[in-house]
Structure 1
Amino acid sequence: MLAEERALYLALVQQGFSNRQACAVVGVNERTGREWRYGRPVGRKKGPRLPAHEAGVVASSDRCARAIEAGGSSRYLGEEERIRIADRLREKASVRAIAAELGRSPSTISREIRRNSHPESAAYRPHAAHARAKARRPRPKPGKIGQNQQLREIVQHWLTLRWSPEQISRKLRLRFPDRPEMHVTHETIYQALYVQGRGELRRELTRALRTGRALRRPRRAPDQRAPRFAAPMVMISERPPEAADRAVPGHWEGDLIIGKDQGSAIGTLVERATRYVMLVHLPGNREAVTVRDALIETMRELPAHLKRSLTWDQGAEMGLHHQFSLAAEIPVYFCDPHSPWQRGSNENTNGLLRQYFPKGTDLSVHNREHLHAVAAELNGRPRKTLGWDTPAERLAMLLSTTN
């Protein structure tokens, strides 16, 4: 009974209307619109769940245009707004002034003038501009590869030679530099292969891709990312506030400095209050087991009141952080992704250590004794941030006060 309303609703959704906006234009309940769009939930008495793309109903673009002109969505510029734009352009008004009068973004007005002006005279004529906008609005749009037979044959031929879509895209621009109709991006080629219903490229050509997949694997949404480690991380936002002001000693920052070809590493530990440095010997590799054992051995030398917390980035070398935390009796907190300033003391110390361990060198040649000597030299260097005391002096002062 609602076939026409359903057709109009689906067409409006394809044009970018939200469920609420489309339902308001058609005059149905929002729940009905959700059922039309996503299908009925399993278990409802009205019948099995039917996806929207199987409805088999297509509305005409004229009905959609009439609904939009009736005041459906403020997302699109109306014909009256375009007339106002043309009038103000003749009065030499600025784009920002026009946007303020219409309650639109300046970029919306600028894009409207650029896209819908006359292609030859560059004059903005409101009724012609409105017609151009309406002609571009219907969805889905035909693909570029499907409309150009020569382009389709060339792309298919190069795919059979096992060229990647990016190689094809770049080669087309070199082969046809003056023919924009022969230029496509690699994403356009992927869409022509994977999107159902388009039929622009033969589906069996997916076997020639590197992955050989017949279906595209969607990326996870940011809120659906897999956990970084098997054991849950405790983030830096939960670290005790006393660690931030550096008033209480015993809060450490840690990281690795990497050697040539990612083949060797040295662990670095910096105490936040005193800037005292300890270097961790990592023989052979920097796997999670190796880092765990080396950190346990290094932190074992510290008294209990100097083991309050350890802050690290989310590197894979800390995959066994829960085992280290239990064995060394020190909680581990993790920085946010791409936030090195949350371990500022450690990053600064790593820069100082590059005087001793330059980038691009093999760090596995340095034995444990040499690392201790470098740490001792760095801890004996006066620091401006400590009032020209050395980290070793500050640490010794803390230990004597505690004793």
Structure 2
Amino acid sequence: MGRWVFDGIGYATRKQMCQARRDRYVELIRDGMNYTRAAKAVGVSKRTGKVWRNGRTRTTGRNEKPSATIWYRPDMDETKTINPRFLDLESRLHIADWTGAGWSIRRIASRLGRAASSISREIARNTNPDTGMYEPNRAQRVSMGRRARPKAARVRSVPGLLDYIRDGLKRHWSPEQIAGRLREDFPHNEDMHICTETIYQAIYVQARGELREEVSRALRTGRTVRRPRTGESERRPRFREPMVMISERPPEVADRAVPGHWEGDLICGRRNKTAIGTLVERSTRFTILLHLPDGHDAEHVQRAVIERMRDLPKLLRNSLTWDQGSELALHRRISTALDMAVYFCDPHSPWQRGTNENTNGLLRQYFPKGTDLGGYSQKYLDAVAEELNDRPRKILGFRKPSEAILDLINTT
């Protein structure tokens, strides 16, 4: 560790340490902390903070530029909205009144719409030890003080805890394994008992670079920043052109009562560098193979689908169901060119294309996994498809897919 230390990190020179302190001050101001508390958090006076914000003119006449901070924040002194999961002053006033009236904890919890354990914990933690009374205004002040930021990170305030986490990461333990082992190794030291989330916070947030090298080498994901988890409604669309999901597909497609509904996918070769497209008609199990010698991106796949299906009768061009692979990003072109609806399966739901998945398994007899699929010609693919379509199928009463689809064409 360097000679100059700030926030637990050593620096080789005093100038580097001062710059880190100044950057931290600017960061706190941008996050909404007021000037006085931000200065105190980084260990400088209010006057120094003011100089950092406004700049100054030295005796030599040289102007020192201010920090790139926000000069005026109208929301800085406003009371921040408390998350509804926290008790507010009004709720604490009710707790005090109802407790004094002799109400039970469960009755108070029911009235406030809270868990009984939350009310019990609130009273136990915030009762005044001097008077033995639950005082709502004092409880509010104490609670706000606990939420105040910045706080000393748990992994820094407990001696030896950060070193234990580092050692666990070096041995390729997961954060969950580290947290569990801490309880085994220190059964009587509750300060060493932390949850898995606390370790993740230490890795990604609170350690501020101290564990970055260990993370990149030891965490199984290899990530040094946390991946955001967004709800389904907040996810970015998969494609630029909106998808029509399988839930909107007509019911007659599911029971295979109407012909002309297809399922499609790719079977990939070695290292996913080559691929063959597969199309299977749901009612007859008739198979068409797509030749993709120039690549299996969206442009080439949509061309191949249109080329092979445009000569089919309209009766056999009702819909196409595909997974959410990027190879079908240009699905709107397919739908427009063939006058055929295109539907997409839900993520990680291959059973929604069960006929196609089964056919892909049969095709692996001809195209084993790990082989280069770019060397097969369209003529060879047509021969494989013809042999597959000439097999008697139990599901069709041992008729052949080629016979079943010819019957459909002849009836039009």
| Cα deviations by residue, 1:5-46 (Å, 9 ceiling, x for unpaired) | xxxxxxxxxxxxxxxxxxxxxxxxxxxxxxxxxxxxx999xx
Q: Write the letter of the residue equivalent to 1:178.
A: D
How far off is 1:321 after superposition?
0.6
Partner of 1:294: 304
Question: Which of 161, 168, 178 is matched with 2:185 structurally?
Answer: 178
Q: Which residue is equivalent to 1:381? A: 391
Q: Distance between the aligned counterparts of 1:58 and 1:245, measured in 2? A: 55
1:227-269 per-position Cα deviation (integer Å, ceiling 9, x unaligned): 0100000112222333222222111111111222222211111
Counterpart-to-counterpart distance in 2, 1:348 and 1:338: 16
* 1:354 maps onto 2:351 in alignment: no
* Aligned partner of 1:205 among 181, 206, 210: 210
1:281 is aligned, of 254, 270, 291, to 291
SS in 2 for 1:355: coil
Structure 1 residues 294 and 177 mapped into 2: Cα distance closer, same or farther (>3 Å)? Answer: same
Structure 2: where are the runs of 5+ without partners?
1-72, 128-141, 217-222
Distance 1:207 1:340, change over 3 A: closer
Q: Given the superposition, is the C-alpha separation of residues 193 and 261 from structure 1 closer, same or farther in structure 2, using an over 3 Å criterion?
A: closer
Map residues 108-119 of structure 1 onto 2, 5 A cutoff. Answer: none
**Secondary structure of 1:269 counterpart:** strand
| Structure 2 equivalent of residue 367 of structure 1 | 377
Structure 1: which amino acid aligns with 2:257? A
Displacement of 1:212 in angstroms is 6.5
- Once the two structures are superposed, the pairs formed by residues 4-403 of structure 1 within 5 Å of their partners are 49-52=78-81, 70=105, 71-74=107-110, 76-77=115-116, 134=124, 144-153=154-163, 155=165, 178-179=185-186, 187-192=197-202, 202-205=207-210, 210=216, 218-402=228-412
Change (3 A) 1:171 1:285: farther
Q: 1:50, CA displacement in angstroms?
A: 2.9
Pair 1:53–1:267, CA change in 2 (3 A): same
- How far residue 320 of structure 1 moved from its aligned partner, in angstroms, is 0.8
Q: Which amino acid aligns with 2:306?
A: I
Q: Is the 8 A contact 2:109 2:116 kept in 1?
A: no
Q: Distance in 2 between matches of 1:352 and 1:341?
A: 16
SS in 2 for 1:228: coil
Instruction: Supply the distance in 2 between the matched residues of 1:53 and 1:165 (Cα, whole angstroms).
Output: 39
Q: 1:387 to 1:184 in 2, by over 3 A?
A: same
Q: Deviations over 1:310-329 (max 9, x none)?
A: 11111111111112222232
Partners of 1:169 and 1:184 within 8 A in 2 = no
Q: Please say if residues 259 and 361 of structure 1, whose CA atoms lie closer than 8 Å, have aligned partners that are also in contact.
A: yes
Higher mean Cα deviation, 292-301 or 237-246?
237-246
When residues 231 and 164 of structure 1 are mapped into structure 2, their CA distance, relative to the original with a 3 A threshold, is farther
The residue number in structure 1 matching 2:67 is none
In the TM superposition, what whole-angstrom CA distance separates every residue of 1:54-96 from its partner, at most 9, and x where no partner exists? 9xx998xx99986785532155457xxxxxxxxxxxxxxxxxx
Higher relative contact order (CA 8 A, sep 6+): 1
Change (3 A) 1:136 1:328: farther
Q: Is the 8 A contact 1:261 1:360 kept in 2?
A: yes
SS of the equivalent of 1:382 reads: coil
TM-score of the superposed pair, with normalisation by structure 2: 0.59
Contact 1:206 1:212 in 2 (8 A): no
Cα-to-partner distance string for 1:141-171 (whole Å, 9 max, x where unaligned): 997524521123555x779xx9799678768
Q: Secondary structure at the match of 2:362?
A: helix
Q: Structure 1 pair 185/357, CA: closer, same or farther in 2 (3 Å)? A: farther
Residue 107 of structure 1: aligned partner: none
- The amino acid across from 1:73 in the alignment is A
Q: Deviations over 1:111-170 (max 9, x none)?
A: xxxxxxxxxxxxxxxxxxx89x94699976997524521123555x779xx979967876
- CA RMSD in angstroms, aligned pairs only: 4.3
- What is the TM-score normalised by the length of structure 1? 0.60
Q: Is the 8 A contact 2:109 2:115 kept in 1?
A: yes
Q: Residue 278 of structure 2 aligns to which amino acid in structure 1? A: T
